Amino acid sequence: MSAAADTACPAIQAGLTAEAILALLAPLGGAKDPADRWGLTVIVPREQLRAAMQLLRDGETTRFDLCLDVAGIDYLGYPDWRGPRFAVSYPLKSTVFRHRVTIKVQVDEDDASVPSLHDVWSSCDWAERETWDQYGIVFAGHPNLKRLLNHHEFVGHPLRKDYPCQKRQKLSVNDPMVDQLQAKLRALGYEILEQPAVTPGMPLTQKEIAK
Amino acid sequence: MRVKTPQGEIVDLMTINLGPSHPATHGTLRLFAALDGETIAAAVGEMGYLHRGFEKMVEQGTYQQVLPFTDRLNYCSAMMNNIAFCKAVERMFGVELPERAVTLRVILLELSRMIDHLVCNGANLVDLGALTNFWYFFNPRERVYQIWERLCGARLTNTVTRIGGMYRDTYPGFEQDVLAVVKVIEDAVTEVLGLIERNRIFIDRTRDIGTVGAAEAISAGWTGPCLRAAGVDRDLRKDEPYYGYETYEFETVLGTTGDTFDRIMVRMYEIRESAKIVRQAVARLKPGPVNTADARLSLPSRNQVYHDMEALINSFKLIYEGVRPPAGECYDAIEAANGELGFLIVSDGGTNPYRIKVRAPCFTQWSHYPGMLTGSMVADVASSLGSINIIAGELDR
Amino acid sequence: MVYKPVPATAAAPEVNLGDAFVTTTVDAVVNWGRRNSLWPFPFGTACCAIEFMGMVSSMFDVSRFGAELVRFSPRQADLLIVAGTVTYKQAPVLRRIYDQMLEPKWVISAGACATSGGFYDCYCTVPGIDEIIPVDIYIAGCPPRPEAFLEAIVQLQKKIDRENRNERAIIGGAA
Ligand code: SF4
């Protein structure tokens, strides 16, 4: 263990300017989001999201290899808002260059669906599940779009502005997660020959839980 | 569960549940694994057992009221969250902090980083069975808590910053206390390193266990010590310096393979680097104001309130309504103990935040963890879990 | 040989045994034993659990009160310390752990969150664990200081001292 002596990794380089990134995304319909006055946010049409993200990740000059987060936003009740109700923001960063960009897609309430990026960055997998859980935005093509933060008996999407903050929902039995485990085993090449006789895990009927 | 393996064998897999209340899961994580003998064939993780609705709660109050909530994100280094959030809001306002506030924040950041690493490594070593080190690390940590107490009254949940500066200036003798505690922490680190660095048992249990290489870590969105352990030299303090970190002399600590051993050692040596920064910052600490003079953010002095109508109105406004960042969306991050801690703030120009999204460093680490276990031994679950330092408060928010 | 009865002494025959006897009630002995050997199960979920660790560590040292043997199996513990926020997702787990503990058992609810939900008045948090399980001692604070944890243990010991076996059997539903 040495302090930065045997650096296999080159020093960080300057990277692209905001104008250059915008110019790169302009053919895909990318437009600067005026709301972000401090950094660079580019609004990309939903149809072009995957193409734009792949370009940003793999481009020689961009190399945005870290997808830091997937953040949903609900604009219901935002003052003077005329755009679509939901937006999904992806803050990206490069480990090669010193540049950042946030990509944003906007979707309407009645068609709240965004293409999934779980195969572009593996970090998007769970982050998209969280956004689906909290906002009800569907990530088309996601292999396991289950709730992440809230329990599996939860109804509704709590971070939507019309979900009352104090509307509590009780849980009776924890998720046994057998289905997820079996899906994972199948993905690893296993063949399930026999279902477990008793559901493993925690389920126990909780009579008293609902007082 | 009877299965046919990819190699065509027919085996019976045993399924076990680790957590959500298991000592190695530090509270609230759940891992559900299928075992083939002692090897993990596959594992899936679950989270959300500590989902307390941070992001919903903060929309109900003002910007200042967010601060106590940020304490409880990563409660091992609460001050870092305070500072990260304040820095993001201050960036929206475009205010410059006075020099003393900046230097103080650097000291608090680095001390928090040190105690966070102490808790992480201490707990990790307990998971490996090395209980003594836990005491060696917890005693200096208590001494840091004593400084926190004298500084702001609280041990754990400090809320020590305010938007636009600090809660208040330090107490007399703060510098000496900090320098003394840094010495104690360094001694503890030396002692523990002496116990583990060449310890055969420790090395056997951590070397090449839970390895996550550079490419895998980057795709999984890892940042901070876990990414550096894989040999990727990225540290926001160096790459996008804030608070004058470019003027401090310190080095980033890198691992080579990204295994559990590297992650523990990166943290160990980072404590020493932080100690260097704290010493330099203490030397730079000069008397001066700790809050900006910007009337949009800082309360006027009592004297002004009593004698000046404008100041009185401003004081009322700030207390009853709170600050109003300009409308817009801003993402800002710092290098927290665990990695990049970012806040995406959406403001509608009002006094309540419209939306705050926390980019928690351990979220990406935990989401990658179940996949990382495939093929490893059950006994290594605890050690590799401890080394990626999952703090449930930050993970589930 | 002529049979001579032993002359009756004024006091009971035990007197001849001197100080070798102490008389007491079963309750007092049992409670004394229980009070001084509490085995806690830390159900730590959040920030308060960090202060629980502080209480166990050498600076505050809970072993002075005989409750340092932390057990991570509910079947081996008789004191459940719930430290931290309990969410609805966590609630069935907590209930199950409580059910698994053997009688006699006591519960300390540590911190604002476990006691009342704390300042998380939200769609996902249980407003106090007493919605789910019975609680003996509540500790205030967010988080409570380690001294407050110790105080709670002392209070619980006092409470155990006053306990009556027969009552407990009725309340706890076990012999
Ligand atoms: S009471 Fe406070 S310190 Fe304790 S778990 Fe709740 S928020 Fe955290």
Give the distance (Å) from ligand 1 centre to CA of residue C115: 10
Cβ(B27) – ligand 1 distance below 6 Å = no
Q: What is the DSSP string of B323-359?
A: --PPSEEEEEEEEETTEEEEEEEEE-SSSS-SEEEEE
In a domain, A196, yes or no: no
Interface of A with B in 48-87 (CB under 8 A): 65-69, 71, 73-74, 78-79
Q: Is residue A211 part of a domain?
A: no
Tell me the average pLDDT of chain A.
78
In this structure, the residue with its CA closest to atom 2 of ligand 1 is C142
Indicate the residue of A167, A169, A202 with minimum beta-carbon distance to C93: A202
Type of residue found at A204:
L
Maximum alpha-carbon separation in chain C: 92
H helices of B197-290, where?
Answer: 200-206, 214-219, 224-229, 236-239, 260-284
Decide if A9 is inside a domain: yes
Give dist(CA B207, CA A108) in Å, integer. Answer: 50
**Residues near B308 by Cβ (< 8 Å), separated by ≥ 6?**
B300
**Total domain count for chain A?**
1
**B209-246 burial, b for 16+ CB within 10 Å, e for fewer?**
bbbbebebbbbbbbbbbbbbbbbbbbbbbbbbebbebe
One-letter amino acid for residue A171 of the chain: L
Residues 6+ apart with CB under 8 A from C146: C51, C54, C55, C59, C60
Please give the helix or strand (H or E) that residue A104 lies within, else none. Answer: strand A100-107
Chain length of chain B: 397
Please report, for the domain that includes residue A133, its CATH number.
Answer: 3.30.460.80
- Total count of residues recorded for chain C: 175
- Between the CA of B131 and the centroid of ligand 1 the distance, in Å, is 26
Ligand 1, residue C45: give the atom nearest the CA. 5
CB of residue C122 inside a 6 A radius of ligand 1: no
CB pairs under 8 A between A and B: 203
pLDDT score for B26: 65
Task: Report, as ranges of residue numbers, the positions in chain B whose pLDDT lies below 50.
Answer: none
C-alpha A176, offset from chain centre: 24
Chain A residues lying within 8 Å of B34, measured CB to CB: 181, 185
Is the alpha carbon torsion for C27, C28, C33, C39 positive or negative? positive
Ligand 1 probe mutation, B157, B159, B394, B396, most atoms within 8 A of CB: B157
Name all domains of chain B by residue range, CATH numbers in brackets: 54-395 (1.10.645.10)
DSSP, res A9: S
B119: contact with C, CB 8 A cutoff: yes
Query: Whose Cα sits closest to atom 6 in ligand 1?
Result: C113
- Residue A2 binned pLDDT confidence (cut-offs 50, 70, 90): very low
d(CA B265, CA A195): 43
Q: CB distance A174–C132 less than 8 Å?
A: no
Q: Residue A128 is part of which domain span?
A: 3-155
Residue A197's pLDDT band, with cuts at 50, 70 and 90, is low
Is C84 near ligand 1, meaning CB less than 6 Å away?
Answer: yes
CB–CB contact B52 C120 (8 Å): yes
Instruction: Report pLDDT digits (tens) over A146-171.
Output: 888 888 888 888 888 888 888 787 77
Q: Chain C residues with CB inside 8 Å of A174's CB?
A: 89, 92-93
> Which of B277, B202, B266, B259 lies closest to B228 in space, CA to CA?
B266
From chain C, the residues in CB contact with B49 under 8 A are 45, 87, 89-90, 93
Q: Is C118 in the pocket of ligand 1 (CB under 6 A)?
A: yes
Euclidean distance between CA atoms B360 and A147, whole angstroms: 18
Q: Which chains are within 8 Å of A by 3+ CB pairs?
A: B, C
Closest atom, ligand 1, to C-alpha of C51:
3
Q: Which atom of ligand 1 is nearest to the CA of C115?
A: 1
Residue A210 placed within a domain: no
Find the chain A residues whose C-beta atoms sit closer than 8 A to any C-beta of C: 149-151, 158, 163-174, 202, 204, 206, 208-209, 211
| Cβ of C128 below 6 Å from ligand 1 | no
pLDDT at residue number C13: 64
Which residue in chain C is spatially nearest to B77 when comparing CA positions?
Answer: C47
Best of C85, C86, C87, C89 to disrupt the A interface (most A CBs within 10 Å) is: C89
Give Dmax (Cα) for chain A.
Answer: 61
8 Å CB contact between B39 and B377: yes
> Which pLDDT score, from 0 to 100, does residue A114 have?
87
The secondary structure of residue C87, as a DSSP letter, is B
Beta carbons of B395 and B47 less than 8 angstroms apart = yes
pTM: 0.86
Sign of CA dihedral A93, A94, A100, A104: negative
Q: Which two tokens stand for residue B282?
A: 């203490």
Report the gap between the CA of B59 and the closest CA in chain C (Å). Answer: 11
How many Å is the maximal CA-CA distance in chain B?
86
Return d(Cα B183, Cα A134) in angstroms, integer. Answer: 46
Partners of A42 in beta bridges: A32, A103
Determine, yes or no, domain membership for A200: no
**Higher pLDDT, residue A196 or C163:** C163
Task: Read off the pLDDT of each residue in C61-70 and give the average, rounded to a whole number.
Answer: 81
Distance (Å) from CA B19 to ligand 1 centroid: 21
Nearest CA to ligand 1 atom 5: C84
8 Å CB contact of B359 and A91: yes
**d(Cα A124, Cα A126) in Å, to the nearest integer?**
6
Q: Helix, strand, or coil here: B317? A: helix
DSSP letter, residue C65:
G
Question: Dihedral of the CA atoms B67, B69, B74, B80 (nearest 10)?
Answer: 0
pLDDT at A206: 44
Q: What is the pLDDT of residues A81-107, one digit of tens each?
A: 888 888 899 988 888 888 888 888 988
The stretches of chain C forming alpha helices (DSSP H) are 26-35, 47-56, 91-100, 111-116, 146-161, 165-172
Task: Decide if A199 is inside a domain.
Answer: no
pLDDT, one tens digit per residue, over B262-290 is 888 888 899 988 998 998 889 888 888 88
H or E segment to which residue C138 belongs: strand C137-139
Residues 161-180 of B with CB under 8 A from A: none
SS3 C80: strand
Give the position, in ligand 1's atom list, of the atom nearest the Cα of C85. Answer: 5
Of residues A134 and C9, more confidently modeled: A134
Compute the distance from residue C110 Cα to the ligand 1 centre, in Å. Answer: 9
Peptide bond into C104 cis (omega under 30): yes
Q: Do B49 and C89 touch (CB under 8 A)?
A: yes
The predicted-structure confidence for A109-134, as pLDDT tens digits, reads as follows: 888 888 888 888 888 888 888 888 88
Phi and psi at residue A105, to the nearest 5°: -120, 145
Interface test mutation site (partner B, options C63, C72, C90, max chain B beta carbons within 10 A): C90
* CA atoms of B152 and B168, how far apart (whole Å): 8
Ligand 1: which atom is nearest the Cα of residue C46? Answer: 5
- Give the phi and the psi of residue A103 in degrees, each rounded to 5: -100, 140
Which secondary structure element, helix H or strand E, spans residue B64, and what is its range?
Answer: helix B63-71
Answer whether residue A210 shows pLDDT above 50. Answer: no
Strand, coil or helix: C118: coil
Note if the bond before B20 is cis, omega within 30 degrees.
Answer: yes
- Residue A204 maps to a domain: no
C-alpha distances in angstroms, B208 versus B60, B122, B129, B261, B263?
47, 20, 18, 8, 11
* Stretch (H or E) spanning A22: helix A18-25
Task: Specify which residues A90 forms β-bridges with.
Answer: A103
Query: CA–CA separation, B87 vs B345, rounded Å?
Result: 11
Q: Would you call B233 and A11 a contact, using CB atoms and an 8 Å cutoff?
A: yes
- Pick left, alpha or beta for residue A80 (phi over 0 → left; psi -120 to 50 → alpha; otherwise beta): left
- Whether residue A206 and residue C121 make contact (CB cut-off 8 A), yes or no, is no
In 3D space, the residue among B71, B245, B271, B64 whose CA is nearest the CA of residue B152 turns out to be B71
Q: What is the pLDDT of residue B119?
A: 86
Residue A30 Cα distances to A46, A48, A64, A105, angstroms: 10, 9, 16, 10
Q: C86 CB less than 6 Å from ligand 1?
A: no
- Does A142 score more than 60 pLDDT? yes
In A, minimum Cα distance to C97 occurs at A202
pLDDT at A200: 43
The single-letter DSSP state of residue A60 is T
Query: How far is residue B217 from each of residues A177, B72, B368, B371, C119, measured CA to CA in Å?
Result: 26, 27, 9, 12, 36
Q: Using alpha carbons, select from B122, B159, B152 the residue that is nearest to residue B137.
A: B122
Residue C73 has pLDDT above 50, yes or no: yes
Does residue A211 have a pLDDT over 60? no
C96 touches chain A (CB under 8 A): yes
Query: In Å, how far is A183's CA from the nearest CA of chain C?
Result: 23
ipTM for the assembly: 0.82
Question: CA of C172, closest CA in chain B: separation in Å?
Answer: 24
Most confident of A58-62, B275-279, C67-71: B275-279
B254 CB neighbours in chain A (<8 A) are 2-4, 6-7, 9
Q: Is B27 on the interface with C (CB under 8 A)?
A: yes
- Do C123 and A165 lie within an 8 Å CB cutoff? yes
Are B138 and C122 an interchain contact pair (Cβ–Cβ within 8 Å)?
A: no
Q: Is residue A176 part of a domain?
A: no
Contact (CB<8Å) B155/C46: no
| Distance in Å, CA C43 to ligand 1 centroid | 13
What is the amino acid identity at position A68?
L
Name the 3-class secondary structure at A203.
coil
Q: A186-195, B230-239, C150-159: lowest mean pLDDT where?
A: A186-195
Tell me if B140 sits within 8 A of B188, measured CB to CB.
yes
Give the closest-approach CA distance of C133 to chain A in angstroms: 9
